[in-house]
A and B are shown apart, each in its own frame.
Chain A
Amino acid sequence: MLSLRVALRFIARSRFQSLLIVFGIAVGIAVQVFVGSLITSLQASLLDSTVGNSPHVILEPAEKGGTFAYTEAIRSLVEDTPSVTAAAPQIVVPVLATKGGATASLIVKAGEFAGLDGIYKLSKRTVQGEARPGPEGLLIGKDFANTYAVAAGDMLPLALADGTLVDARVSGIFDLGVQAVNEGTAFVDPGLLATRLGLAPNEVNVVETQIDDVFLSSTVAEAWRTALPQLEVGDWQERNAELLIALQSQGTSSVMIQVFVVIAVMLGIASTLAISAVQKTRQIGILKALGMSDSSTGLVFLYQAGILGFAGTLLGLGLAAGLIALFSSLAAGPDSGLFPIDLQPSFVAFSAGVGISIALLSAVIPYRSTARLDPIEVIQGG
């Protein structure tokens, strides 16, 4: 344990230099954890805002414009798939809405509220009136409401493709955060359209589903394609290839940033430890002359690096936690335009491991130069 004792004395003796190394490691680790967490959370936020409120896997009839029976077998297959969190069988039809002499086209989604709410989070995103449309109710987007001066409670007659008029009352107005949806989509109870369209009770033309891990959509879709060859199965990844590439590129850039931060930190620690080894050459030579072995003198720098690496990593994690807390408190403010950052324990553990490992790795140069040092060089040099 003499090596450890000497290492501690070297650290204490060169306080300023030791503090510089600790802060160097701390800043590196803090940047790594913060940037890593920031990009991970940014991806999560982007995913949530882009595909969080939209279907991940969709079942449609093989023939475009057709319908299919949402049988008990299909329902079981869909709902018993472990990753599925919501399923919304629907009839989706285009209609013309008439208001004060103006006519506007709308895509109406007629389905059970529970399923639709599971995918579109209507309960949380209703800005006026009731979220649940009821038997003759209609939910419209805020941009449609603004354009045509429609408010909750207003009557909004809908004309189906065959000219049939359906009386509907606006029960609520939603804001899904996407202008195209807010302008052109409406939600109704299935009972409002089923009889008028002459559909059987379980007849639908689309089943939208959400799953807990969005990147599993291809796997789930593939399994359903095999089980339901009579249907067309699509998933968000194949329909949003460019978004997927953007997300993957972001992930790659995050890894690259972290790799360069690690390299910069390693070079910083290695050079400072190498300088420290040069500064302590005389002491190492004396210890060797007194009989200390090469490996024991080398261990001095390994312990030094380990202690400084551990202290720097701890401080870095503290700094990162502080930065993330600050960022999150700013993000929590109204209209901040920021997204919350989550500090993930596995990422913290990884960064701590990286911090201590690079410090130890940085001790290789002083370890080798110390092992090579001949005490006679020091003794003769005075």
Chain B
Amino acid sequence: MADVIVGQGLTKVYGTTQKTYALKGVDLNVQKKEFLSIIGQSGSGKSTLLNLLGLLDRPTEGSLELVGTDVGSLSKKERAAFRNEHLGFVFQFHHLLPEFSVRENLLMPGWIGGQRTSTSATRARAGEMLELLDLGDVKDKRSNDLSGGQKQRVAIGRSLMNGPDIVLADEPTGNLDTMNTEQVYSLFRKVHEERGTTFVIVTHDRSIAEQTDRIVEVRDGVIQQDVRNEHLASPGSHPRAS
């Protein structure tokens, strides 16, 4: 299976006079259709790694290839377009736009990508997504009128609307109760199995990470452990320590 993420020597340094190394030469390859988690304590560098993978930040050193594209050579504008076309984001604080309805929030990535609102394909996709996420009843409500679980489901729907190659989720259940947490992971799994989308989920909760196929543990800016989850991983995959 082809690698959709190829990161080599990824280093991120903050500060100039007093340098702080958030990542220290991380190598990370992720295959297409993988469902993996990145775990680590606060300040371990896991979110920094996700920000680099999501093109929200640039590495100080190292190279990164996403979906066969050397993203290090892209301009700011090209990186924005790449994010829109190939990546989906789910954040801990959902980050919905309160000025827009649930349906419009789902359509937003398509609008940014230049899709016309009137195309029947876009409308149909939004309709399917609302059904998949069980949000049909609240599609015209503003995001501020939704519960925490509903907001996060909208955020998941938004991340999937443009049919991304990779979904990057940063503590997606950090603010949710147990029931909603289960719902979110069930959704991720369902989408992963039905669409074959690659998922990279950052979490500090090991019990959640154990539901994924591969666990990458980051500590002090380096990958401490990279293992296949024996209970859930597909036959033939092997745990690997880095």
Contacts and interface: CB of A to CB of B under 8 A. Distances in A.
Interface in A276-334: 282-283, 285-294, 296
Interface string B26-69: 00000000000000000000010001001011000000000000
Contacts of B76: 294
A6 B112 CA distance: 11
Interface string B87-107: 001011101111110000000
B84 A291 contact: yes
A376 B56 contact: yes
B100 A9 contact: yes
Given A13-B99, A290-B109, A291-B109, A382 B83 contact: no
Contacts of B74: none
A7 to B, nearest CB: 10
Contacts of A10: 99
B113 interface: yes
A5 interface: yes
A291 B85 contact: yes
A2 interface: yes
B56 A289 contact: yes
A290 B56 contact: no
B13 interface: no
A379 interface: yes
Interface residues of B, number: 30
A5 B84 CA distance: 18
B108 interface: yes
Contacts of A380: 47, 51
Contacts of A141: none
A154 B237 CA distance: 129
B162 to A, nearest CB: 8
B108 to A, nearest CB: 6
B111 A294 contact: no
Contact of B95 (A5, A286, A296): A286
B92 A382 contact: yes
B241 interface: no
Nearest to B54: A289
Contact of A292 (B51, B93, B112): B112
B97 A294 contact: no
A379 B95 contact: yes
B22 to A, nearest CB: 12
B119 to A, nearest CB: 15
B81 A376 contact: no
A376 B96 CA distance: 15
A289 B83 contact: yes
Size bracket of the A interface:
20 to 34
B231 interface: no
Contacts of A287: 97, 108, 112
A183 to B, nearest CB: 75
Contacts of B111: 2, 5
B77 interface: yes
A285 B96 CA distance: 11
A375 interface: yes
B89 A289 contact: yes
A375 B112 contact: no
A12 B98 CA distance: 12
Given A9-B99, A382-B92, A293 B77 contact: yes
Nearest to B86: A291
B93 A290 contact: no
Interface in A5-41: 5-6, 9-10, 12-13
B232 interface: no
B146 interface: no
Interface in A363-382: 375-376, 378-380, 382
B97 A283 contact: yes
Nearest to A382: B93
Given A289-B83, A290-B112, 16 more contacts: A286-B95, A287-B108, A287-B112, A288-B80, A289-B89, A290-B89, A291-B82, A291-B83, A291-B109, A291-B113, A292-B84, A292-B112, A293-B80, A294-B80, A378-B95, A379-B51
25 contacts: A2-B112, A13-B98, A13-B99, A283-B99, A285-B95, A286-B95, A286-B97, A287-B97, A287-B112, A288-B80, A289-B56, A290-B83, A290-B84, A290-B89, A290-B112, A290-B158, A291-B83, A291-B109, A293-B77, A293-B80, A294-B77, A294-B80, A375-B56, A376-B51, A379-B91
Interface of A: 2, 5-6, 9-10, 12-13, 282-283, 285-294, 296, 375-376, 378-380, 382
